[in-house]
Chain A
Amino acid sequence: MSGAIGAMRADAAKLLSEGAVKLVLGYCVRGNERYPCFISEAAQAEALDFDQSCRQNLAAYLRKPEVRGRAPLAVVSSPAVCRSLLVLSSESQIRENEVRALAIGPKGYGGILGLGALGAWLKADYPDLVPEQALLDRVAELSAKTAQERAKFWMKEFEKCTRCYACRAACPGCYCERCIVEKNMPQWISSAAAGHGNYAWEVIRAFHQAGRCTGCGACEAACPQGLPLMLLNARLSQDAFEEFGSRPGYELEAKPLIGSWSAEDDGSFIR
Chain B
Amino acid sequence: MTFEPRITAFVCNWCTYAGADLTGTSRLSYAPNIRIVKLPCTGRIDPLFVLKAFEGGADAVLISGCHPGDCHYASGNYHARRRWSLFRKLLAFTGIDENRVFFSWVSAAEGQKFANLVNKVTEQVRAAGPFGERNLARRRL
Contact = CB atoms under 8 A, between A and B. Distances in A.
A154 B94 contact: yes
A147 interface: yes
A62 interface: no
Interface in A222-237: 232, 235-236
A188 B139 CA distance: 13
B122 to A, nearest CB: 13
Contacts of B79: 258-259, 261
A180 B22 CA distance: 37
A196 B140 contact: yes
Nearest to A257: B82
Q: Is the interface of A mostly helix, strand, loop or mixed?
A: helix
Contacts of A210: 86-87, 90
Nearest to B137: A199
Nearest to B62: A271
Contacts of A196: 51, 55, 136-140
Interface in A170-216: 180, 188-190, 195-196, 198-200, 202-204, 206-207, 210
Interface of B: 47-48, 51-52, 55, 68-69, 75, 78-79, 81-99, 102-105, 117, 132, 135-140
12 contacts: A150-B95, A152-B95, A158-B136, A195-B139, A200-B48, A203-B90, A232-B93, A235-B89, A244-B82, A263-B78, A265-B78, A265-B85
